[in-house]
Amino acid sequence: MDEIKKTGDRIAKVIARAGLASRRGAEKMILDGRVTVNGMVISTPALNIISSDKIVVDKIPLPSAETTRLWKYNKPIGLVTSEKDEKGRKVVFDNLPSNLPRVMSVGRLDLNSEGLLLLTNDGELKRKLELPSTGWTRKYRVRINGLPTPEVLDKLKNGITVDGEKFRPMAINIDRQQGSNAWLTISIKEGKNREIRRAMNELGFKVSRLIRISYGPFRLEELKANEVEEIKLSVLKSQLGSLFNLQTDQKEPSTQIKQTIRRKKKSLPDARNPSKRISKRK
């Protein structure tokens, strides 16, 4: 376009708010030449637009931004947290209820990790909640093989470098020793790729189970494996109001009543319920 507009919002942000992609995904769409503004193909995401601009993605007009929504999902092991997997493995989005709109995950859980995964229809909210600067704590129940001592684990409390990558300090509690295994509660602020597994491996411990039990103020609680529960808009306003400008132009979806959406399909064979009751297992 002839000139970059100085008012309005960046186009990638607008596409993300419409739930079509994350901001990073929207930027890639633009660089791939899939986006037009007022009939002209744009080649840079460094463009601000206003409400009167007409945005088209893949020859389809961009829909209006919907009310911001957030769900809790109890991810079982055996699912990849991505839209598709190059190895042909089953992904989280293949396993969600069919009545959910298009959603994106807030962060990831690796194939062998389970527990709380937040889902949203708002790409800008996804981006905001993933930023380390947001300061939200991710808390995990972790089972390792070995006999850890507070002295050894203190190395993680001060931050550790693994393969040249610096991990921020972790808060760690030893919950109990169960034979040759120990259960820990670990809290982190950032959540880099396989961060806890790599950090524990650096100390000589192998993680045999990893369950995320909370992400910021949102907790897994008694949500069963493979279930989805929508967080009420009133709760989002109270928890995110000072952090994020929620999109609430439209009416609150009728599905936002207090309920749990259960899968019609059978759960995966290895799906387990990582609730607080794990403390009773032997």
Our CA dihedral for 48, 54, 55, 56, rounded to 10 degrees, sits at -160
Gyration radius (Cα) of the chain, Å: 21
Report the distance separating Cα 203 and Cα 201, nearest Å: 5
Q: For residue 208, which phi and psi values (nearest 5 degrees)?
A: -105, -15
154 is catalytic: no
Give the end-to-end CA distance of the chain in Å, rounded to a whole number: 65
Domains of the chain, first to last: 9-61 (3.10.290.10), 73-228 (3.30.2350.10)
Look at residue 60 and give its three-state secondary structure: strand
pLDDT digits (tens, 9 = 90+) for 204-221: 999 999 999 999 999 999
60 pairs with which residues across the strands?
Answer: 57
Look at residue 20 and give its three-state secondary structure: coil
Please give the residue that has the higher pLDDT: either 151 or 132: 151
Please give the residue that has the higher pLDDT: either 232 or 241: 232
pLDDT category of residue 18 using cuts at 50, 70 and 90? confident
Q: For residue 237, which phi and psi values (nearest 5 degrees)?
A: -65, -40
Token pair 């109890």 in the structure block, residue: 74
Residue 5 has pLDDT above 60, yes or no: no
Which candidate in 110, 122, 175, 270 is catalytic?
110
What residue type is 34 in one-letter code?
Answer: R
The Cβ of residue 146 has, within 10 Å, a number of other Cβ atoms equal to 15
Whether 73 and 107 have beta carbons less than 8 Å apart is answered as no
pLDDT score, position 262: 42
pLDDT digits (tens, 9 = 90+) for 145-159: 999 999 999 999 889
The interaxial angle of helices 23-31 and 123-130, nearest 10 deg, is 120
pLDDT category of residue 172 using cuts at 50, 70 and 90? very high
In terms of Cα–Cα distance, which of 121, 122, 1 is closest to 55?
1
Our CA dihedral for 150, 152, 155, 157, rounded to 10 degrees, sits at -20
pLDDT digits (tens, 9 = 90+) for 263-282: 434 444 444 444 333 333 33
pLDDT category of residue 249 using cuts at 50, 70 and 90? low
Token pair 């019609």 in the structure block, residue: 264
Q: What angle do CA 121, 125, 131 make, to 5 degrees?
A: 135
Report the distance separating Cα 202 and Cα 171, nearest Å: 17
Two tokens, residue 171: 């808060």
**Helix (H) or strand (E) segment spanning residue 117:** strand 114-120
pLDDT category of residue 246 using cuts at 50, 70 and 90? confident
Q: What is the pTM assigned to this prediction?
A: 0.77
In terms of Cα–Cα distance, which of 135, 126, 160, 158 is closest to 22?
126
Query: What DSSP designation does 255 have?
Result: G
Mention every residue, 6+ apart, whose C-beta is less than 8 A from residue 21: 15, 28, 29, 104, 123
pLDDT score, position 275: 36
- Most confident segment among 64-68, 80-84, 127-131, 186-190: 186-190
